[in-house]
């Protein structure tokens, strides 16, 4: 079992961040496999063929992406913790990737091959400047296949951060970490369980831990930068829960609580503020606020204050009602 150990100071300084690099890495893995995520399926359909064609034209890119998508050890030079918080820019993340020395890149890739569940070789690792070539691949994938979808993705990621920040403010880190992924959990008073697999514990530095959501539903990995910087990358809450094009609630729920409130309850499968709901639904703040008040009084939703905002989420009763009426 791998534990991430935090001092009280490190815990107090832990925070959330976004990573275009992590989002791009996860997206590349998605594009090489069949997609079962309804939230990403329209994007996948638009980009899958072109991405595969680009890989087929570049043996280095194809070998690297296929290895990344089939190993339990992601190469360390492409999984460094982001340094820009919620405003991290891809260019800043790619600078150390491009600067990685060839011997360090080869060592990382050999470790990835050792931990892969498929057979790989590194015959595609030819020439030199592998760090720069990797950075070029990530830059191409971001600008060609991800950046147009980034506003939609970023909105979902920010909602996840707002939701967990509300839990953090109200209940502390153990509650904020609940269901972040299938393996992670709070252990005792000073540690996070990252994996059930055997391995050495990590000691998080005094600057604290980073928690980085991504939109791919199977994306979970630990980013490390020696000696003591760590980031836990995890699937954002609600990424695959609802088809984003769907706006009409099921008739049974609408008959029960009214069409307007049914729409709001469905939308809150992903936590949101009243302003976000109004924008997504094309309704006034007053209308949305009225629906929220009724749903809250019925204990179908709850609100958590995060700074000056209130983030609303469905309660267990709300989840149950929505599920029963759409089964």
38-94 pLDDT tens trace = 788 899 999 999 999 999 999 999 999 999 999 989 999 999 999 999 999 999 999
What tens digit of pLDDT does each residue of 201-227 get? Answer: 999 999 999 999 999 876 689 999 989
Give exposure, 180-204, as e/b (b: 16+ Cβ within 10 Å).
bbeebebeeeebbbbeeeeeeebeb
Query: What average pLDDT does range 293-300 have in this prediction?
Result: 91
- Both 201 and 91 in a single domain? no
What is the β-pairing status of strands 191-195 and 185-187?
A: antiparallel
- Both 60 and 174 in a single domain? no
Q: What percent of the chain is predicted at pLDDT more than 90?
A: 54
Give a yes or no: residue 124 inside a domain.
Answer: yes
Count structural domains, the chain: 3
Give a yes or no: residue 56 inside a domain.
Answer: yes
Domain stops at, among 148, 170, 198: 148
Model pLDDT, residue 145: 97
What tens digit of pLDDT does each residue of 84-142 get? Answer: 999 999 999 999 999 999 999 999 999 999 999 999 999 999 999 999 999 999 999 99
Model pLDDT, residue 244: 42
Expressed as residue numbers, the domain containing 94 is 20-148
- Both 69 and 166 in a single domain? no
- Both 32 and 75 in a single domain? yes
What is the sign of the dihedral through the CA atoms of 243, 247, 250 and 255?
Answer: positive
What tens digit of pLDDT does each residue of 243-276 get? Answer: 444 444 456 677 778 888 888 888 887 788 898 8
Domain stops at, among 235, 260, 282: 235
């Amino acid at each position: 079992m791998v534990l991430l150990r935090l001092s009280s100071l490190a815990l107090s300084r832990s925070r959330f961040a976004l990573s275009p690099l992590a989002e791009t890495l996860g997206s590349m893995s998605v594009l090489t496999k069949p997609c079962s995520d309804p939230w990403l399926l329209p994007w996948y359909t638009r980009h899958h063929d072109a991405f595969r064609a680009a890989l087929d034209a570049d043996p280095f890119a194809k070998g690297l992406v296929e290895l990344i998508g089939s190993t339990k050890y992601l190469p360390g030079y492409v999984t460094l913790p982001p340094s820009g918080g919620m405003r991290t820019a891809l260019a800043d993340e790619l600078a150390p990737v491009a600067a990685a020395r060839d011997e360090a890149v080869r060592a990382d890739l050999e470790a990835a091959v050792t931990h892969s569940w498929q057979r790989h070789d590194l015959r595609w690792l030819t020439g030199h400047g592998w760090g720069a070539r990797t950075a070029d691949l990530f830059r191409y994938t971001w600008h060609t296949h991800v950046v147009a979808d980034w506003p939609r993705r970023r909105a979902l990621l920010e909602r996840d951060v707002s939701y967990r920040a509300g839990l953090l403010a109200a209940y502390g880190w153990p509650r904020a970490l609940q269901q972040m992924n299938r393996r992670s959990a709070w252990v005792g008073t000073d540690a996070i369980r990252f994996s059930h697999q055997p391995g050495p514990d990590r000691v998080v530095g005094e600057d604290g831990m980073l928690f980085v959501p991504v939109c791919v539903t199977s994306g979970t990995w630990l980013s490390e930068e020696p000696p003591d910087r760590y980031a836990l990358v995890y699937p954002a809450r609600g990424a695959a829960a609802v088809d984003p094009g769907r706006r009409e609630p099921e008739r049974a729920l609408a008959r029960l609580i009214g069409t307007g409130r049914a729409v709001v309850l469905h939308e809150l499968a992903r936590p949101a503020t009243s302003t976000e709901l109004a924008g997504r639904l094309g309704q006034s703040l007053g209308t949305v606020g009225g629906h929220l008040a009724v749903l809250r009084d019925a204990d179908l939703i709850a609100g958590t204050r995060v700074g000056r905002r209130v983030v609303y989420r469905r309660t267990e009763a709300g989840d149950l009602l929505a599920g029963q009426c759409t089964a």
